Amino acid sequence: MRNGLFDLTGKTAAIIGAGSGIGEAVTRGCAQHGATVVCLDVNVEAVERVAGQVNASGGKAEAAKLDVTDASAVDAAFGGVRARHGALDIVICTPAINVRKPILKYTDEEFDRVLNVNMKGSFGVLRAAGRIMTEQKKGSIIVFSSIRSQVVEPGQAVYAATKAGVLQMVRTAAAEFGPHGVRVNAIGPGVVETPLTAQIKSNADWYNAYAAKTVFGRWARAEEMVGPTVFLASDAASYVTGTILFADGGWLAADGRFTPPGM
């Protein structure tokens, strides 16, 4: 039996990036909590697989191709969800890209590419979802930011800037949409094992260094982002808006790994 506080039964959730990684895990989690999930991703074969598996396990899912950088397509996708299901209750946006390079080696094309997905894509999602949800006087929008909205390392200038920008857009949207009954929040993951972080996982020193930055000494699993997301999507977070929920294994809490003598 589902806990009523976190129950998403009767709600429709449009999830962008549902074809893999965090987006896939969150899609399955929302479906398990009763939501009808609309799986959206640039990789249509991937979201058709995810939707098929959700349906086979007793959930309710549909799939469609969506490029988050195509604002008109985002508008159409959300409008279609509302037309088919009567409401757009939850929107979750997970996609982001990163080009790891020092500032002095960054090209204009790389800069534009990262901003186009991370910032412009997120803005289009906030705008499209906001138009519908403010009209229907309800809804929850969740956009994935990162610990990089707060702390950086060499090679992360543009990615970190976009993740900080996403957080500020979320806060502004919360202020603007709140009077219409719409909540807007961000999630800030730390290091999560997904296909996009395979490059780091394949380098033992790099992988272990990131693991050591957490107080648990390990990376997160994609499934560990489900709880924070379902919380923000559900009535359990009915008075939560304009904030970021960090799921980072204590990365931001601990500023060093040295344990003083006698501790």
Active site residues: 159
Cα 247 to Cα 147: distance, rounded to the nearest angstrom: 9
Alpha-carbon distance of 63 to 132, in angstroms, equals 20
Name the CA radius of gyration of the chain, rounded: 18
Distance, in Å, from the CA atom of 88 to the CA atom of 185, rounded to the nearest integer, reads: 16
| Chain centroid to CA 158 | 18
Tokens of 230: 């379902």
One DSSP character per residue, 85-108 reads: HS---EEEE---------GGG--H
Report d(CA 142, CA 98) in Å as an integer: 20
Q: Phi and psi (nearest 5°) for 90?
A: -140, 135
Please name the amino acid found at residue 79: G
Q: What angle do CA 74, 79, 82 make, to 5 degrees?
A: 130
